[in-house]
Amino acid sequence: MLVDDEEVDDPFRAVPRVPPLSASRSRYVFNGYSDRALRLMLVDLWLLRIVQNAKKFFVLLGERERERVYVYGGSLDRALCEGILQPACRVGRKLHANAEGDSDDLVNPPKVEDKIGAVPNGLSTDSEVAKREAESISKKSLRSNAEKFEFQAEVSRLMDIIINSLYSNKDIFLRELISNASDALDKIRFLSLTDKEILGEGDDAKLQIQIKLDKANKILSIRDRGIGMRKEDLIKNLGTIAKSGTSAFIEKMQAVETLILLASLVLDSTRSIFLLTMLKSLAKITMINSMYVWESKADGAFAVSEDTWNEPLGRGTEIRLHLREEAGEYLEESKLKELVKRYSEFINFPINLWASKEVDVDVPADEDESSDEEETTESSEEEKEDEEKEEDEEGEKKPKTKKVKETTYEWELLNDVKAIWLRNPKEVTDEEYTKFYHSLAKDFGDEKPLAWSHFNAEGDVEFKAVIFVPPKAPHDLYESYYNANKSNLKLYVRRVFISDEFDELLPKYLNFLKGLVDSDTLPLNVSREMLQQHSSLKTIKKKLIRKALDMIRKIAEEDPEESNDKKDVEESSEEDEKKGQYTKFWNEFGKSIKLGIIEDAANRNRLAKLLRFESTRSGGKLTSLDQYISRMKSGQKDIFYITGTSKEQLEKSPFLERLTKKNYEVIFFTDPVDEYLMQYLMDYEDRKFQNVSKEGLKLGKDSKDKELKESFKDLTKWWKTTLASENVDDVKISNRLADTPCVVVTSKFGWSANMERIMQSQTLSDANKQGYMKGKRVLEINPRHPIIKELRERVVKDAEDSSVKQTAQLIYQTALMESGFALNDPKDFAARIYDSVKSSLSISPDAAVEEEDYSEEVETESEKKDETSSSKPEAVEDTEEPTDFKDEL
């Protein structure tokens, strides 16, 4: 609404006056101003009714010495002017009076028109509206004078909700405690930058986190050598729910940084002095010799006392958790190691566990035990005799010992992997990336990842990320593709693991990538277990997808087999290592790229460049769409492809006969997902895709096409009538056949034969619902084939000949099967084949099959019954013999 005078001399008078603007409830008339300017003003005054905007408007008119402003209308307009706009009106009138004193020519005030804009009651205001406005003003005054109260909470109930309801996974308690310990260590390390004595000497100078178990008393202890807390800090920070001492420390540091920045603008040398004085004031909290204990049972109360019975901790904090019976699993070393490895593996400070370990110890052996052992085996006696001889030679006699397992305890380091994503990518070696990948992905093989991308994103959302392409795909990558919620991309916040069960940062088709994202500003819920819906997630997702696709594209660019240059180049060891890498990637994860084209419309063109396939001219190797286009014939407008079950089957397809002879390249799509892929990938680089098994194939014009169509017109018409029961839509002359008499093609936008086969093989498929998606079938005949020519002659002679109709039916069914379709009635097809065989063998069609003589079977059955009846007594006699023998015994 505000316009500088330098840009427009008089924006309000730029348009000639138009009939006055009418509002729904009130009317503002400005003498001499354009309708467009009035509409902009009314938006601020009428719709928004913001006092500050109204004041700016009247002051602006006074400063620019505009003409008088008159407000007309009913009670609402007067209320607006008197209650809300009155101060601004006075300012405007005062400035306007000053302007009139300096001006000689006075402007006549505007007159009220009887019928402004011909709107009935245009200048009146409903009394109910005025009443509602008055009530709202009175309510505002009442609210300003109302007595205020604060919410009260039952602390014990609130603690129960926090403990049992807020966190869905109780394992993360250790993550939170280690994270707090890391924050305390960060604070003391930050303070030590200007006061090195603050760290102390000996063990106090070691910035580490220690975890210790006491199974007998069911106590889990976590100790850090961080900044510690005073008694006041214990009461204020631990005694206040949702109070964070770390956040207060960060706010102080941000205030220091702001003042430092302002001071550096004046004199850069003062910055170090100012920082030193501020840090010394913050460091005073660590110079305390007393030690305090904070205790609570989460029942709404806590106790703080000075510790005089435990050994002095020195500097830092120790947390002792008395575990319940059901939490006994957290007293196991294996469980704690698993949690630390999962959640706190990349904490910047060493995490040590007081772990048990069994070692072999030499213990003096007893004489009785040694003699018993000597008697057991001869080999042991011989060995001992040899040892005695050696001892006699040396003149020394060693005491006899034995090996015994003994349990010892020592500190075991749990987080030996460094967070390499915090370093500069140029400083990290390939070996470090490989080691980090094996640790992150829990892949302990020898293979290196195919590629990786390490980057820092800055801007609206800042984060660091490292993503890897695994060398092999998991065996169950696509089994539960749409049902799995787990992602291989882990989310970290300040090097603390949060979750890997989300799909907001990467789409499903990139779930094979492994890596992590670390950000300090991601929106988390209160329990820090889940991501909240936020606009920044879309920005992160967009950047991750772009980096991932660039990383995959780089694999193809660095692969020597993917380059189009045929020049002889000396291959280095690095090129040998990268040779065939993209082929390996495609064999493992090619289906994911195809699913990405189906799901991600925004990146469809970028994903299409990563497609690889075999073709009729690829020589058994994978080729890309760019390479296909570079080999296209002059005048070729479409990209030809065919779908099927295998390359060997497609190479023998009759649809390729004419294309192969004319040296056209055809792409082979043999994966079932390719049928779905081509429904979304309609074109590439302004070239459309054409399925050679469907209608619409154009291979150039032939001067004899019209003559052929005319000469075979009677045959095609007759054949279409004959196949009326087969749901054949049309019979046409084909331009794709060379050696085959005919094929069956489908309509351009219907299912192909391969797609019909795929849909029919679905577990829950419904044949009734698939009928409308099946393409219309068209029989294309080869006018140059002798079978078609002879059939035309037979039809001309006698179109009603039954043998000719039978032959036409057989030819169609054969073409249907050769084109990849399933026969509706295989029995009928087999009968026609047998009739054809009879005619070729000169067998009469009425020849019957000889009937089998059933009388012989009846006789044989009666003979068998007699034999069984006669053999029964013998069997009884045989069974009686062993019983008599048993009785004699």
262 pLDDT higher than 60: no
C-alpha–C-alpha distance, residues 625 and 618, integer Å:
12
C-alpha–C-alpha distance, residues 384 and 392, integer Å:
12
838 — pLDDT class (breaks 50, 70, 90): confident
C-alpha–C-alpha distance, residues 682 and 604, integer Å:
11
Annotated binding-site residue? 528: yes
Give pLDDT, residue 249: 52
725 — pLDDT class (breaks 50, 70, 90): confident
pLDDT tens column, 861-881: 556 556 555 554 444 444 444
Give pLDDT, residue 658: 92
Give pLDDT, residue 346: 85
233 — pLDDT class (breaks 50, 70, 90): confident
834 pLDDT higher than 60: yes
0.75 surpassed by pTM: no
What dihedral do alpha carbons 321, 490, 435, 560 form, nearest 10°? Answer: 180
Q: Average pLDDT, stretch 658-672?
A: 94
Annotated binding-site residue? 754: no
Listed in sequence order, the residues at least 6 apart from 274 whose beta carbon sits closer than 8 Å to its beta carbon are: 259, 260, 263
Annotated binding-site residue? 229: yes
288 — pLDDT class (breaks 50, 70, 90): low
Tell me, what DSSP letter sits at residue 426? G
Tell me, what DSSP letter sits at residue 192? T
Q: Which long-range contacts (CB under 8 A, 24 or more apart) does 423-430 make?
A: 425/454, 425/455, 428/454
Give pLDDT, residue 889: 33
Task: Compute φ and ψ for 776, nearest 5 degrees.
Answer: -70, 135
> Cα–Cα–Cα angle for 562, 563, 568, nearest 5°?
125
Choose among 478, 456, 467: nearest CA to 549: 467
Cα separations in angstroms, 821 against 291, 547, 572, 746, 751? 85, 43, 51, 10, 11
Task: Compute φ and ψ for 579, nearest 5 degrees.
Answer: -70, 130
pLDDT tens column, 489-520: 888 888 888 887 777 788 999 989 999 999 87
Listed in sequence order, the residues at least 6 apart from 613 whose beta carbon sits closer than 8 Å to its beta carbon are: 622, 623, 667, 668, 669
Pick 214 or 377 by higher pLDDT: 214
Most confident range (mean pLDDT) of 287-296, 378-387, 450-459 is: 450-459
Coil, strand or helix at 427: helix
Task: Compute φ and ψ for 640, nearest 5 degrees.
Answer: -90, 140
Coil, strand or helix at 20: coil
Q: Element (H or E) spanning 176, and its range? A: helix 172-191
Annotated binding-site residue? 570: no
478 — pLDDT class (breaks 50, 70, 90): confident
Choose among 474, 465, 430: nearest CA to 548: 465
286 — pLDDT class (breaks 50, 70, 90): very low
261 pLDDT higher than 70: no
Looking only at the bridges linking them, the beta strands covering 292-296 and 302-306 are antiparallel
Q: Point out the least confidently predicted range of 231-245, 308-322, 341-355, 446-460.
A: 231-245
- Distance spanning both ends of the chain, measured CA to CA: 125
| 496 beta partners | 493
Q: Which two tokens stand for residue 700?
A: 């150039």
Pick 525 or 100 by higher pLDDT: 525
C-alpha–C-alpha distance, residues 25 and 46, integer Å:
9
Give pLDDT, residue 859: 58
Give pLDDT, residue 675: 93
pLDDT tens column, 375-395: 454 455 555 555 555 555 554
652 — pLDDT class (breaks 50, 70, 90): very high
Taking a C-beta distance cutoff of 8 angstroms, is the pair 1, 41 a contact? yes
Give pLDDT, residue 428: 93
Give pLDDT, residue 40: 52
Q: Average pLDDT, stretch 569-575?
A: 55
Backbone CA torsion sign across 877, 882, 887, 889:
positive
464 — pLDDT class (breaks 50, 70, 90): very high
Annotated binding-site residue? 721: no
Pick 770 or 888 by higher pLDDT: 770
CA-based diameter of the chain, in Å? Answer: 157
Above pLDDT 90, what percent of the chain? 30
Cα separations in angstroms, 189 against 176, 193, 211, 225? 20, 7, 20, 10
Burial (CB count within 10 angstroms: exposed 0-12, middle 13-18, buried 19+), residue 772: exposed
Annotated binding-site residue? 264: no
Cα separations in angstroms, 678 against 137, 195, 599, 608, 751? 64, 67, 13, 11, 11
Choose among 63, 333, 343, 373: nearest CA to 177: 343
Taking a C-beta distance cutoff of 8 angstroms, is the pair 28, 42 a contact? yes
Give pLDDT, residue 816: 93
pLDDT tens column, 36-92: 555 555 544 544 444 444 444 444 444 433 444 433 333 334 434 444 444 444 444
Tell me, what DSSP letter sits at residue 774? B
Q: What is the mean pLDDT of the chain?
A: 74
Coil, strand or helix at 410: strand
6 — pLDDT class (breaks 50, 70, 90): very low
468 pLDDT higher than 90: yes
C-alpha–C-alpha distance, residues 763 and 511, integer Å:
26
Listed in sequence order, the DSSP H helices in 532-681 are 535-558, 573-578, 581-599, 604-608, 625-630, 647-651, 657-661, 673-680
Give pLDDT, residue 366: 64
Please compute, for residue 870, the number of CA atoms within 13 A of its CA located in the half-sphere on the CB side.
Answer: 6
C-alpha–C-alpha distance, residues 421 and 437, integer Å:
12
Give pLDDT, residue 199: 83
Backbone CA torsion sign across 474, 479, 481, 486:
negative
Most confident range (mean pLDDT) of 276-290, 303-317, 708-722 is: 708-722
pLDDT tens column, 145-201: 677 777 777 777 777 776 666 667 788 888 888 988 988 898 888 888 888 888 877
Pick 31 or 241 by higher pLDDT: 241
24 — pLDDT class (breaks 50, 70, 90): very low
Give pLDDT, residue 485: 63
Choose among 689, 675, 691: nearest CA to 736: 691
Q: Which two tokens stand for residue 444?
A: 């302990």
Choose among 47, 91, 64: nearest CA to 6: 64
8 pLDDT higher than 70: no
Please compute, for residue 263, the number of CA atoms within 13 A of its CA located in the half-sphere on the CB side.
Answer: 14
- A 10 A CB-CB count for 677 gives 22
244 — pLDDT class (breaks 50, 70, 90): low
Pick 739 or 243 by higher pLDDT: 739
Domains annotated for the chain, with CATH where assigned, are: 155-355 (3.30.565.10), 420-558 (3.30.230.80), 611-692 (3.40.50.11260), 704-841 (1.20.120.790)
